[in-house]
């Protein structure tokens, strides 16, 4: 009975180790979007140039967060897992920004029409893709990604082995 309970708890902790960083990243991305909407609404920024400035700061913030997260994930995990985890986090943040975000900006979801919603989804996913790509490429360029480090370990182990000479 104790072994079953222990294995069940281990399975829960293993899932928590995978989903907790994804959830926190999605919440951070949504928080940046929500903060920009709330500041624009409550701050009374009605001029277009003021709203563009706040939107630009939010876009840069999301990009920096994604570059850092992508670098961290690339260092720790294989690229396939990194891509899946970060794509899921960006997708969750995008849905939250579309459904919950307008309430924080004094509006309602989907009021602006289908064109605005599609453009917002494309902007969020495009920004996510660029941020993920830049973080990934930075880590790979320095040779610190998961694959490069494992190849370096293989090379060191291969060189450490004594090799047999071939006699003909």
Sign of the alpha-carbon dihedral angle for 58, 59, 63, 69:
positive
Please report which helix (H) or strand (E) contains residue 130, including its range: helix 114-141
**Percentages (nearest 5) of helix, strand, coil residues in the chain:** 80, 0, 20
- Output the pTM of the full model: 0.80
Residue 14, pLDDT > 70, answer no
Query: Residue ranges of the domains in the chain?
Result: 2-160
pLDDT for 45 beyond 80: no
For residue range 105-160, list pLDDT tens digits in order: 778 888 888 888 898 899 889 999 999 999 999 998 988 887 788 778 777 888 88
- pLDDT class of 24 with cuts at 50, 70, 90: very high
The two tokens of residue 45 are 């920024």
Picking from 30, 31, 54, the residue whose alpha carbon sits closest to that of residue 42 is 54
Task: Note the maximum CA span of the chain.
Answer: 86
């Amino acid at each position: 009975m104790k072994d079953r309970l222990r294995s069940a708890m281990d399975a829960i902790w293993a899932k928590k180790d995978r989903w907790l960083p994804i959830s926190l990243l999605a919440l951070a991305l949504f928080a940046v979007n929500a903060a920009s909407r709330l500041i624009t609404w409550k701050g009374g920024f009605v001029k277009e140039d003021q709203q563009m400035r706040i939107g630009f700061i939010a876009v840069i913030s999301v990009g920096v967060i994604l570059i850092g997260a992508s670098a961290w994930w690339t260092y720790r995990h294989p690229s396939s897992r990194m891509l899946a985890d970060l794509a899921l986090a960006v997708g969750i943040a995008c849905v939250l920004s579309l459904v919950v975000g307008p309430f924080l900006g004094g509006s309602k979801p989907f009021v602006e029409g289908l064109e605005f919603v599609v453009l917002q989804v494309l902007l969020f996913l495009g920004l996510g893709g660029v941020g993920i790509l830049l973080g990934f490429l930075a880590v790979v360029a320095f040779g610190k990604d998961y694959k490069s480090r494992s190849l370096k370990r293989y090379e060191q182990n291969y060189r450490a082995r004594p090799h047999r000479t071939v006699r003909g």
